[in-house]
Structure 1
Amino acid sequence: MALRADWLPALAAFEAAARHQNFAHAAEELHLTASAISHHVRKLESRLGLSLFQRHARGVALTDQGRQLADAAGTALADMDGVLRSLRLAREERDRVRITTLHSLAYIWLLPRLNQFTRAHPQIQLSVDTEIALTRFDDSGPDIGIRHGAGHWPGLTAHHLMDDALFPVASPNLPGVEQITEPAQIAEMPLIADQARQGWHDWFRAADVHGRKLEERYIFSNTTDAMMAAAQGIGVALAREQIVGPYLRSGQLIRLPGPAMPARWGYYAIYPSHRRLRATAQTFLDWLLAVEKH
Structure 2
Amino acid sequence: MALRPDWLPALAAFEAAARHQNFAHAAEELHLTASAVSHHVRKLESRLGVALFQRHARGVALTSEGRQLADSASSALADMEGVLRGLRSAKDEQARVRISTLHSLTYTWLLPRLPRFAQAHPDIRLNVDTEVALTRFDEGGADLAIRHGPGHWPGLTAHHLMDDALFPVASPTLRDIKRIRRAADIPLLPLISDLARQGWHDWFRAADVHGAKLDERYTFSDTTDALNAAACGLGAALAREQIVAPYLASGRLRELPGPRIRARWSYAVVYPAHRRLRPAAQAFVDWLLADVAQSPPSLATATEI
Q: 209-218 or 66-75: which moved more?
A: 209-218
Identify the range of structure 1 (120-129 vs 252-261) with the bigger mean alpha-carbon deviation: 120-129
2:64 and 2:213 mapped to 1: Cα distance? 88
Q: CA deviation at 1:212?
A: 3.4
2:27 alignment partner in structure 1:
27
Cα distance per residue 1:268-290 (max 9 Å; x no partner): 10111122111221121111112
Q: Which moved more, 1:115-124 or 1:12-21?
A: 115-124
Task: Look up the match of 1:122.
Answer: 122
Normalising by structure 2, what TM-score? 0.91
Cα distance in 2 between the residues matched to 1:20 and 1:185: 80
The alignment's TM-score, normalised by the length of structure 1, stands at 0.94
| Residue-by-residue CA offset, 1:191-222 (whole Å, 9 max, x unaligned) | 11122222222222322333333332222222
Q: Which residue of 2 aligns with 1:245?
A: 245
**Aligned match of 1:197:** 197
Alignment-derived partner of residue 228 in structure 1? 228
Structure 2 unaligned residues grouped into runs of 5+: 295-305
Give deviations 1:174-194, integer Å, cap 9, x for gaps.
Answer: 111111122232222111112
Deviates more, 1:210-219 or 1:97-106: 210-219
Counterpart position of 2:279? 279
Q: CA deviation at 1:127?
A: 2.5
Q: How far apart in 1 are the matches of 2:276 and 2:137? A: 12
Q: Tell me whether 212-221 or 172-181 shows the greater mean CA deviation.
A: 212-221
Query: Which runs of 4 or more aligned residues in structure 1 lie more than 6 Å from their structure 2 counterparts after TM superposition?
Result: none
Give the SS at the match of 1:98: strand
1:46 deviates by 1.1
Give how far 1:6 is off. 0.5
Question: Cα deviations across residues 52-81 of structure 1 (Å, max 9, x unaligned)?
Answer: 122223222222221211111111111111
Who is 2:301 aligned against?
A: none
Amino acid at match of 1:184: A
What SS class does the counterpart of residue 213 from structure 1 fall into?
A: coil
Corresponding residue for residue 157 of structure 2? 157
SS of equivalent to 1:137: coil
Aligned partners of 2:158 and 2:181: how far apart in 1? Answer: 41
Is 105-114 or 8-17 further displaced after alignment? Answer: 105-114
Deviations 1:102-137 (A, max 9, x none): 122122111222233222223323232222233322
Q: Give the corresponding residue for 1:174.
A: 174
Code of the residue aligned with 1:284 in structure 2: it is F
- Whether 1:184 aligns to 2:184 is yes
Partner of 2:3: 3
Counterpart in 2 of 1:71? 71
Structure 1 counterpart of 2:213, which letter? K
Alignment of structure 1 residues 64-143 onto 2, 5 Å: 64-143=64-143
In the alignment, structure 1 residue 267 sits paired with structure 2 residue 293: no
Distance in 1 between residues matched to 2:72 and 2:221, nearest whole Å: 57
CA–CA separation in structure 1 for the residues paired with 2:62 and 2:272 = 56
String of CA shifts for 1:117-166, please: whole Å, max 9, x gaps. Answer: 22222332323222223332223122221111122333221111011111
CA distance in 2, matches of 1:227, 1:16: 59
Whole-Å separation in 2 of the counterparts to 1:216 and 1:44: 82
Structure 2: how far apart are the matches of 1:46 and 1:230?
Answer: 80
Separation of aligned partners in 1, 2:139 and 2:32: 42
Measured in 1, the distance between the counterparts of 2:162 and 2:97 equals: 21
Partner of 1:18: 18
Secondary structure of 2:172's counterpart equals coil
Question: Do structure 1's residue 52 and structure 2's residue 80 form an aligned pair?
Answer: no
Q: How many matched pairs?
A: 294
What is the SS of the residue equivalent to 2:166? strand
Rounded to whole Å, the distance in 1 between the matches of 2:56 and 2:213 is 92
Provide the C-alpha distance between the structure 2 equivalents of 1:94 and 1:63, rounded to a whole number of angstroms. Answer: 46
CA distance in 2, matches of 1:195, 1:73: 62
C-alpha separation between the residues in 2 aligned to 1:124 and 1:155?
Answer: 27
CA distance in 1, matches of 2:134, 2:59: 59
Structure 1 gaps, min length 5 = none
Q: Distance in 2 between matches of 1:33 and 1:71?
A: 24
More deviation in 166-175 or 195-204? 195-204
RMSD: 1.7
The Cα shift of 1:5 comes to 0.5
